[in-house]
């Protein structure tokens, strides 16, 4: 179903700290995105991010960038989505809460 083993491994990491790949529901279709997550516990927020250092509790920082091609093997991702539309629709439902 996936273009390569590396891509599948990063999809399986969705929602965890570090780098992962998530499936997002776009306005017209499904799209993959690389996502980076880090929890602020243990960070010196006063020094690193003074603007948000007054917030209480842990903070999860998330950066998400849509990708059109596999970053590992170069496959056009829309082609694998088209080939396995039903399975990827189910995956998009699972990723709904973490791909925002």
Strands (E), 17-89: 18-25, 30-39, 60-67
pTM equals: 0.79
Grouping H, G, I as helix, E, B as strand and the rest as coil, residue 77 is helix
Q: What is the pLDDT of residues 45-84, one digit of tens each?
A: 556 555 554 555 666 788 999 999 999 999 999 999 999 9
Residue 91 lies in a domain: yes
Res. 17: pLDDT tops 70:
yes
Cβ–Cβ under 8 Å, residues 16 and 87:
no
pLDDT for 49 equals 56
Write out the residue range of the structural domain in which residue 54 sits. Answer: 5-95
Residue 100 lies in a domain: no
Q: Mean pLDDT across the chain, nearest whole number?
A: 85
Residue 21 lies in a domain: yes
Rounded to the nearest 5 degrees, what angle is found at the Cα of 20, between the Cα atoms of 17 and 33? 130
Domain count of the chain?
A: 1
More confident residue, 42 or 31: 31
Residue 37 lies in a domain: yes
């Amino acid at each position: 179903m996936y273009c390569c083993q590396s891509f599948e491994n990063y999809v399986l990491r969705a929602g965890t700290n570090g780098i992962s790949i998530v499936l997002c529901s776009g306005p017209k279709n499904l799209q993959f995105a690389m996502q980076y997550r880090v929890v602020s516990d243990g960070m010196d927020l006063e020094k690193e991010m003074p603007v948000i250092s007054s917030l209480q509790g842990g903070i999860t920082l998330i950066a998400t960038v849509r990708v059109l091609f596999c970053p590992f093997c170069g496959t056009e991702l829309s082609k694998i989505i088209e080939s396995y539309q039903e399975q990827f629709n189910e995956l998009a439902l699972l990723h709904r809460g973490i791909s925002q």
